[in-house]
Structure formats: structure tokens, C-alpha cells
Structure 1
Amino acid sequence: MAEQDWTGKSKGKKTGYQIFVFLLRFSGLRVAYSLLVFVAFYYLLTSRNSNRAIYQYFRQIGFGKLKSSYSVYLNYFVFGQCLLDKIAAMAGIKTNFKFDFEGEVNLHKMVNQGKGGILLSAHVGNWEIAGHYLDRIDAAVSIVMYDAEYQAIKEYLDRVTGKRKTRVIPIKEDMSHLFEIKTALENKELVCIHADRLLPGSKRSLQIPFMGKNAEFPYSIFRMIIMLQAPVSFVFSFKESANSYHFSATEIMQFDGDRDDELKKLSGSFVAELENRLRQFPLQWFNYYDFWKA
């Protein structure tokens, strides 16, 4: 079986990141892309648990057995492209990325309300590269992340990419990140949160139909948003071609009434939007564990 739960660590090793940065600096993005053919094949040969999990995803969304098997390889390839794009943008390496912004006006409206806001996304596409270009929006941006990623990778990327344009709020066991999020909203910041993974050790989840079968989504994140009564938009950034991305932001949702009903409405709306975007970009799902706990 594939891994049953997310462990709090992202896919990849420090050596792989070092190779990517070397290739980007000395050969450029397109040459680095070409070498991903071999990198993706390596992961296909060595990542048994991830293979099973991502194959299950493709079967769940309706792909046949043969198409699902081939799509596992393509998924690794696109994941590598997104990673290269992110590193290139953060390191200041010359690129010619183009962005198609859908619903950008919704983020400007959120900022103009003067209350800050929550941007909900998921481990799909390439949110981090979009976050790097959010200076189009006149507001400070904080990204909430789980702090159990390999520390060596984080330190290495900090060295080679320089200071991030966005501030990171690490999720901690003592729940102190909740106060940081509240403070960020009070300072009229936009706070970006991924709402598709349960945190390790979570005791409560939401069972929501996703791609035709119930899956667990994090109760704590949706509950927190309802309690904070913060404006919310669902944001996604997907790679459309070698040098173009599609960024989308939904209309603002505001919650200040019955908490149970609104929690159900918020979580259901988010999952529906996630499904809709994945139907458009099915290869860009990057949760490498048994999402449906089959």
C-alpha cells in the first residue's frame, strides 16, 4: 500500500535541489527541462509508494490503467518543471514566464477592504511561483507552511535564492502559528494556506466527496477561518506551457453567521473548486500519499 498519511515532509532530497540549481545557472531552463526526462524516470523506478499513490489518483479521476501508468511518469516530469521554475524565479535566473491572471480583481477588492484575507490553495500546480510575483497586489503576503520539511533543503534554498519576498509562518505543535495568522490579518496582510492535507497527528477531519470518493480534509484549517471571520478566496496557479502559467482567484467569501453551516459551505466550495481546476490540469496533483486511504 501507499503511505497512509502525509508525514509533513515534501518530496525531494537536498542533492536533487543542488543539481537543479547547478543546471539552471550553467545551462538555462530549457536544457534543465530536457534532463528531467531522466530524473522523472529515476523517480519512477525508485518511488514505489509514490507511484502507487499517484496511480490511484489518476484511476480515481477516471483514467484507464494504461493512461494512468503513463501519467505517473508525466506527473513526475511536470513536478520537476514546476520545481525548476520556482527555483529559477526565486534565484533571479532570467526567465520569460507569462501569467494569465483570472480573477485578479478579487484580490484587489480583498486588499481594498482593509481587513487582510485568507488565500486558500492546495498542493497542486505551482503556487509558490505565483506567490513570488504577488507584488502586483498592494499587500504584504505570508505563507503558512508545515515546519517538518528537511531543514537542510530549506537552508540550502535560502542560501541560493536569497531572501523570500513572502514571509513564512511555520505551523507549530504549540499552535502559536494561530496568533501569527491573526496578527497578520490585523496588519491587513494576505495569508496563504494549503487546505488539502491533514497535519500529522490530527485528531479530527472533514469527510468530503472528492473526485467521486470521500477523502479527509483538515477540519482545523476551515474551522480557524470561520472563527477569524476573514475574507477568503481560493487561489491556484497551474503551468499551461513551458513558459506560461494560469493564475486564478475566486470571488471573495465572507463568514460571520452559523459556524457549523458556514464550515460546511466553505470546505465544500473549496473542494469543488479544487476538483474543477484539476479537471483542467489533471497532471499537476502533487500529493504523494494515499489521499483516499484505500
Structure 2
Amino acid sequence: MSEREATVEAAPDQGWKTARERGGVLGMRFVLWLTTAFGRGPARLFVRVLAFYYTVFAGGARRTTAEFLQRVEGRSSFSRVYLQILRFAQVTLDSLFFVSGKIEPFELTRSGSEHLERLRETGEGGILLGAHLGSMHALRARGTQANMPVYAVVYTQHAERINAVLREVNPDGQASLLQMGEGVDFMLRIKELIESGAIIAILADRVGADGRAVEADFFGARARFPSGPYILAAMLKCPVYLTFGLYRAPSRYDLYVEPFAERIVLPRKRRQEALSEYVQAYAARLEHYVSMAPDNWFNFYDFWGKPT
């Protein structure tokens, strides 16, 4: 595969950015109020109604979800699309509990946690590659409980505003969302955290604002994945793991951690080829976990679509 084929320059207005995530920060504040006032049970009833509303009126999300289900499960229906949106609403609700450190309502099962425990014992930091599949907050809550700080790198310009909402949930918590950047300050901050033994979590399934992406096979078709996480990991020279927190209604999260690479190495002469190999390896494992819990897939845009 040529460099031109391996690296795709996506347009700045990628689908997941232009298809606005309805509610945003205001939605988080409202759900926070509802949860604080009435608890998880009544809030779960409310999100059922909210999910039905969006299933009916959010035509773009409904259409792309139906296409995803047809590709992955071979069938689709209104009720199945509703379930997909409901799962997203339920996991979003639960994230407020995880951020506040209230994990008592949940059953957390763990597979591969020994890998992170080994990092903690040695004092070494590392990178976790996840996806918009299930809940990253469940894993972060477990890491905090185990005295292992987990920082999430995000692509959004609203990272600081989201941090403000999270501080309302847990005033004593640290601001743990880091906006993805390419400058020296960002790299120094990440390097400092890694050297202090922190874990850096990156959702590696959505192409960022820079548009730099690598194509890989994913459920029988070519899809674009960001190259940034692998370039960052190569610069930091630290261990890389895959992690997924799959939600099982009503209150269980199955947390998975598995080794991905002791070091990401991108040789100068075969940089694009190496990137393609890493991204394809990630896509293959992501496909495995999506197959385990298709209703946990929370990318409500045309994931296999070409840049516009």
C-alpha cells in the first residue's frame, strides 16, 4: 500500500463534528441535576423517554445507527435503534456516578487488570487506547479507586467546560480531561504525566480536527482511524494497552485491558506502513469487542463514510 493510500487527509468538517452531539454541556448539567435530586432510578426512567425522543426526531443518528446495525448484526429495526440510543443515554448517566466516585450501584468485572497493576508497582506510566464503545469513565473510576490516576485526552474544544461540570460532580477531583494538541506545551504535559506514573487514555476511533487518518479494514469495509495516538505513543516511548468498558444492563460493566505494544515504533523509512499495521491491529481488536456488545457502539455518524 502506498503512502497516499495509507494516510487519508479527512476534511475539517468530519461527520462526528458536524453532526452535533445534542445536549452537550447543558445536557450534562441537566442530567446532573436530575441525578442529584432524584437518584439513579428515576433518572433512568427519564433517559428512556429522552432516548425515545431522539430516536424519533434525530433522523441522522437514527439512519447511521440503522446502517451500523445492518452491517454488524445483519438486521435493523426501530426498536433496535432505540436500544442503541438508550444504551448511550444510560452510560452517560452512569458516568456522573463514576466521576463522583460513587461506584457502589455497579458491579465491575475486570479482565487484564494485572497489566495496570504491574505499571503501578513499577511506577511506570502508559497509554490506554479505547473507543466510543461502552464507558471509559468506568475504567477511570476503577483506576482512581486503585490510586492510579487516569487522564483522558480528548479532541473537543470544550474540554475545559466539561471539566467544570465534572468538578461540580466531584469538587475534590482533579481536572482530568486534556485537550489533544501538537504543541510543545501539550507534549511536555503528557510526558510529565507519564513519567509520574499516570495513565493516559485516548479514544482512538475518531479522526481529529487535523484530519490525519489511516484506513483499516473494519467489519468488511475500509474505515478511517486517527494516526495521532500512535504518533504520540511513539514519541513517549511507553507501553500501550487496549481498554474497553462494556455495559451490561442494568448495572454491570465488564472492564477489559490487554497489551497492545510494549513500544510503538515508527521507522522513518516505513513510517506509513508501520502506522497502517498498528491501526489495523487496533481495528481488529475493536471489531472483536464491538461484536461482544454491539449495543455499546456510540458513534452516531457514518463511520465508514468518505470525507466530504
TM-score range with shorter-chain normalisation?
0.7 to 0.9
Indicate which of 69, 82, 88 corresponds to 1:73: 82
Measure how far apart 1:150 and its partner are. Answer: 7.8
**1:133 partner SS:** helix
Q: Give yes or no for contact 2:101–2:141 (8 Å, CA) kept in 1.
A: no
Is it true that 1:42 corresponds to 2:53 in the alignment?
A: yes
Comparing 260-269 and 111-120, the one that deviates more = 260-269
Partner amino acid for 2:171?
Answer: G
> Are residues 1:280 and 2:292 paired?
yes
Residue equivalent to 1:61: 72
What residue ranges of structure 1 are gaps of 5+ in the alignment? none
Q: Deviations over 1:28-85 (max 9, x none)?
A: 212211222211111112212222222221122133143xx32221111111111111
Q: In percent, how many aligned pairs have the same letter?
A: 24
**Matched-pair contact (CA < 8 Å) for 2:125–2:238:** yes
Single out whichever of 53-62 and 89-98 deviates more from structure 2: 89-98
Indicate yes or no: 2:237 matched with 1:229: yes
Q: Distance in 1 between matches of 2:175 and 2:143?
A: 9
Aligned pair 1:170/2:193, yes or no?
Answer: no
Residue 5 (str. 1) matches residue 5 (str. 2): no
Candidates 135, 141, 158, aligned match of 2:167: 158
- Aligned-residue Cα RMSD (Å) equals 2.6
Query: What amino acid does structure 1 have at the position aligned with 2:94?
Result: D
The answer for the alignment partner of 2:148 in structure 1 is 139
Q: CA deviation at 1:94?
A: 7.5
Deviates more, 1:110-119 or 1:170-179: 170-179
What letter corresponds to residue 238 of structure 1 in structure 2?
L
1:220 aligns with 2:228: yes
Stretches (4+) displaced over 6 A: none
Distance 1:131-1:93 versus aligned 2 partners, 3 A rule? closer
- Higher mean displacement: 145-154 or 246-255: 145-154
CA distance in structure 1 between the partners assigned to 2:265 and 2:26 by the alignment: 50
2:304 equivalent to 1:292: yes
Alpha-carbon contact 1:103-1:249 (below 8 Å) kept: yes
Provide the C-alpha distance between the structure 1 equivalents of 2:257 and 2:66, rounded to a whole number of angstroms.
Answer: 29
Residue 32 of structure 2 aligns to which amino acid in structure 1?
V
| TM-score (structure 2 length as normaliser) | 0.83
